[in-house]
Amino acid sequence: MQSLDKRRTFGIISHPDAGKTTLTEKLLLFGGAIQVAGAVKSNKIKRSATSDFMEIERQRGISVATSVMAFHYKDVKINILDTPGHQDFAEDTYRTLTAVDSVIVVIDVAKGVEIQTEKLVEVCRMRKTPIIVFINKLDREGLDGIDLLDEIEEKLGLNVTPLSWPIGMGQRFKGVYSLYEKKLVLFRPHSKQQEDTIEITDLTDPILDKEVGESLADELREEVHMIEEVYPDFDREAYLKGELSPIFFGSAINNFGVRELLDCFIDIAPGPLPRVTEEREVKPEEDQFAGFVFKIHANMDPKHRDRIAFMRVCSGTFQRNTNYLHVRQNRKMKFSNPTSFMAEKKTVIDEAYPGDVIGLYDSGNFKIGDSVTEGEVLHFKGIPSFSPELFRFVNNANPMKAKQLAKGLTQLMDEGVAQLFTKEDNGRQIIGTVGALQFEVIQYRLEHEYGASVQYEPLNLHKACWISCKDEKKLKEFVSRRKRDIARDKDGQLVFLAESAWTLKMAQENFPDVQFHFTSEVEV
């Protein structure tokens, strides 16, 4: 139980460029996990952001895979999952949200709420995940604070309550007033110590005028008075149910407002929460161990060609070198070197508790969504798999490297970044993805991690649907009549490749006994 109280597992989500990776860096700095922050964008500085460890991420300055980092702060173990912001990698982010207990949403003060943020917050709202909002880049000119709150309420559908409030913005930015701690935190941009904290319980105190100037002091008093009148008081119960979202202001790049966010976060954020399975609800305080795999990553260390399955511990205690049941394969497995992460730095651990995310070395046994337990058969729910929307033929550009290409494609597809289909009539391979940037990432990784080169050929398809039918004869008839449009996925399941919405509609009408599924979880 003590370990449960001391665990916080959360994801950081936002639109690209809102400063999510920078905020992650600063949280790690406060936790003493890293000594120097890397400039995320600057190529002149050789240190890149700790959480962007894949070569392509360093070059592009964006995150393309979720990274997991753990550190201790004030006697609490914090597990951060930094997710990609770019919409082409949303699938990875959606899956990661199944493994966290709360989220921090980062919003750029100048751009306000952007479309990708809306989609991600929608997923959190459906799951009733507690949300804290961090409004970033206050050292730049941006939208008015009150207008921003209105936009967040309107576009994201959140009920908000500010726990800190900015004093000025851009050139006039003087700091924030913490409504949660009743403290004035002053911004000192060019001094070594970038913030000074002064306790002011009463905003009529003349110290305020002295520190920030009369006009800004009056502005702050007026705005805080309005906030207290209009917005609800902070209620932790409502926050934990996902019904109320605290708002913080700051500037992650300047390390400002991050400590206040972190202090409040460990105070109010939930510890490990129960998880729903098809069989029952799994509670973290149970004695029996249970966990699920939400992500697989190949080549974390390109020198060793290793695959790691990321597993969220949901209940009990995970012990190294203990036999556990791999539910889907119905066989016992033992893990001799489970690891905890600091981006790509890994350390072997002996045990892990609910809320922890651990890495299991994987030789191809795991798929996303797999359950591992002490013996009970459990199937965790809510781990999405999407029907691809973009398709390309894959051509091997170097016939000498056919073996490397086959291995690379298999391993990258297991990560869930894309889906591979092989046509029944001519054996040609097709990659299907949710976003266009995925094709570039796959091409880059095949070349740099497997030494295989591919060329893509455009392919116009409307949808890939998995097919099943209770009547074997009718299924065979459908497959032989539509052979040109039939493929198999990497697990050998039959897939219908519809060229247009009309083709799909006709196939459904002409073969009413055949079921068409848009996710790959087909009950065979």
In the structure, what pLDDT confidence band is assigned to residue 1 with cuts at 50, 70 and 90?
low
Q: Is residue 81 part of a domain?
A: no
What's the DSSP call for residue 368? Answer: T
Residue with tokens 């105070």: 267
* pLDDT value of position 81: 81
Provide the percentage of residues in the chain whose pLDDT is more than 70.
82
Q: Which residues pair with 513 in a beta bridge?
A: none
Shared domain check, 309 and 241: no
Q: Is residue 385 part of a domain?
A: no
Shared domain check, 424 and 366: no
Shared domain check, 25 and 147: yes
Q: Span 492-513, mean pLDDT?
A: 89
Cα(399)–Cα(378) distance, integer angstroms: 44
Shared domain check, 417 and 491: yes
pLDDT top residue among 462 and 441: 462
Q: Is residue 252 part of a domain?
A: yes
| Domain final residue, candidates 233, 268, 303 | 268
pLDDT digits (tens, 9 = 90+) for 241-284: 999 999 999 888 887 888 888 889 988 999 898 888 888 999 99
Spatial contact of 352 and 317, defined as CB atoms under 8 Å apart: yes
Which range among 3-7, 37-41, 86-90, 394-398 has the greatest average pLDDT?
Answer: 394-398
Q: Is the pLDDT of residue 202 over 80?
A: no
Spatial contact of 429 and 410, defined as CB atoms under 8 Å apart: no
Q: Give the structural domain span for 347.
A: 275-373
According to DSSP, the β-strands at 371-373 and 323-326 are: antiparallel
Q: Is residue 340 part of a domain?
A: yes
pLDDT digits (tens, 9 = 90+) for 167-176: 888 888 888 8
Distance of CA 389 to CAs 64, 435, 466, 498, Å?
19, 8, 14, 11
pTM of the model: 0.73
| Domain final residue, candidates 323, 339, 373 | 373
pLDDT top residue among 125 and 38: 125
Q: Is the pLDDT of residue 199 over 60?
A: yes
Q: Is residue 1 part of a domain?
A: no
Please state, rounded to an integer, the average pLDDT across all residues of the chain.
80
Shared domain check, 325 and 189: no
Which range among 76-80, 322-326, 344-348 has the greatest average pLDDT?
Answer: 322-326
* pLDDT value of position 386: 60
Q: Is residue 185 part of a domain?
A: yes
Shared domain check, 511 and 413: yes
Question: Residue 399 belongs to a domain with what CATH number?
Answer: 3.30.70.3280
Cα(49)–Cα(292) distance, integer angstroms: 28
Shared domain check, 310 and 249: no
The four Cα atoms 428, 433, 438, 444 give a dihedral, to 10 degrees, of -20
Q: Is the pLDDT of residue 348 over 90?
A: no
Residue with tokens 């949300």: 131
Shared domain check, 285 and 228: no
In the structure, what pLDDT confidence band is assigned to residue 300 with cuts at 50, 70 and 90?
low
Burial class (CB within 10 angstroms; exposed 0-12, middle 13-18, buried 19+) of 136: buried
Spatial contact of 28 and 50, defined as CB atoms under 8 Å apart: yes
Shared domain check, 158 and 231: yes
Distance of CA 374 to CAs 271, 324, 412, Å?
22, 5, 29
pLDDT top residue among 373 and 126: 373
* pLDDT value of position 343: 44
In the structure, what pLDDT confidence band is assigned to residue 46 with cuts at 50, 70 and 90?
very low
Q: Is the pLDDT of residue 240 over 90?
A: yes
* pLDDT value of position 523: 33
Shared domain check, 199 and 57: yes
pLDDT digits (tens, 9 = 90+) for 353-380: 898 888 888 777 888 888 999 989 988 8
- What is the number of structural domains in the chain? 3
Q: Which residues pair with 275 in a beta bridge?
A: 282
Question: Residue 150 belongs to a domain with what CATH number?
Answer: 3.40.50.300
Q: Is residue 70 part of a domain?
A: no
Shared domain check, 436 and 415: yes
Spatial contact of 56 and 64, defined as CB atoms under 8 Å apart: yes
Token readout for 42 is: 């600057």
Spatial contact of 312 and 291, defined as CB atoms under 8 Å apart: yes
Shared domain check, 459 and 351: no
Q: Is residue 510 part of a domain?
A: yes
Q: Is the pLDDT of residue 186 over 90?
A: no
| Domain final residue, candidates 223, 243, 268 | 268
According to DSSP, the β-strands at 486-489 and 463-468 are: unpaired
